[in-house]
Amino acid sequence: MAALRGLLARPLASYYLLLSSVGLLLLIGLTMVFSATSVKDFAEGGDASASLTKQAVFAVIGIGAFWACQRLPARTFRAVSRPALGVAVALLLLLNLLVAMGSLFGVTSIGPLRAELLSLSLGPISLQPVEVAKFALVLWAAHVLARKGAVLGWWKELATPLFPVVGLLFVLVGYNDLGSMLCLLALVVGMLWAAGVRTRVFAALTAIGLAGIGLLVAAASLGAGSGSRGADNYRLGRLTMWLDPPSPRTCFEQELPNCYQLVQARYAIGNGGWFGVGLGQSSLKWNWLPEAHNDFIFAIVAE
């Protein structure tokens, strides 16, 4: 234990722990993407490693960007934080404008720029504004929290300017993409925790966050018929289906909406049991479970 404490007390211990954790997650992620996509990729294109190769390329690009960014001084990130946040907000406003135009007038493009679900496309280039927002929020919030220092214990210091900006991002992201909004919320909570904000603050933040999620679900439900993802009460249906899941027989016989994927995911988890069927041996990935390689890869991991 003394030797372990000595290793953890070294100045770069947290840095190496972070590197090893990220490296392990990257390896597990690539392995599970290959496991979940190999059968489908081989059936469709004859190349079982097509998705793995694509993800590996992105991983290499990410590692290269990380290597470059870790050598930049902190003042560079501070200088970039505000412009990055401004660009993220502008892109989100543009995406929401195009989505609103599509709902009202059936037009989702301005010249060569067009909106496709949650992304903006310009020719062959496609970008999800929320990914820029995640990056910008981390940079900007870190700058604000580091600048405020010990006074973070006061609500007034948290309320300006952190909460208004976070609230704006949640509104711009949350109506169209609740999942990404929850990721942004997790980022904020994690950064506040790392910055040493008092524990009692998180109880209030949790209540505010749950109320906001409820409002977004209600807003999507009220938007039925507007042409948005909420037009068929998508979020409310997923939530009620999770709280009160039907039996598989009821789901298939009555063709209930929002339950097929839930039932197949439960089959996968149940089929795996405590110890799983073995790496690469999942049967639900054979086109039984929709989005098995991304949204529902947890079920494939469990199987």
Checking if the pLDDT of 29 tops 90, the result is yes
Checking if the pLDDT of 69 tops 60, the result is yes
What residue type is assigned to position 34 of the chain? F
Name the least confident of 17-21, 53-57, 177-181: 177-181
Mean pLDDT, all residues of the chain: 84
At 82 the pLDDT is 93
Checking if the pLDDT of 56 tops 90, the result is yes
At 233 the pLDDT is 59
At 274 the pLDDT is 92
Instruction: Name the residue ranges covered by the structural domains of the chain.
Output: 12-71, 245-302
pLDDT digits (tens, 9 = 90+) for 198-242: 777 778 878 888 888 778 777 766 654 444 444 445 667 777 777
Average pLDDT estimate for 168-173: 84
- What does pTM read for this prediction? 0.76
At 303 the pLDDT is 93
Q: Taking the CB of residue 288, how many other CB atoms lie within 10 A of it?
A: 14
At 223 the pLDDT is 59
Average pLDDT estimate for 131-145: 92
At 193 the pLDDT is 86
Average pLDDT estimate for 66-86: 93
Checking if the pLDDT of 125 tops 70, the result is yes
At 22 the pLDDT is 92
pLDDT digits (tens, 9 = 90+) for 251-302: 877 777 778 888 888 889 999 999 999 988 988 888 888 888 888 899 999 9
What residue type is assigned to position 119 of the chain? S
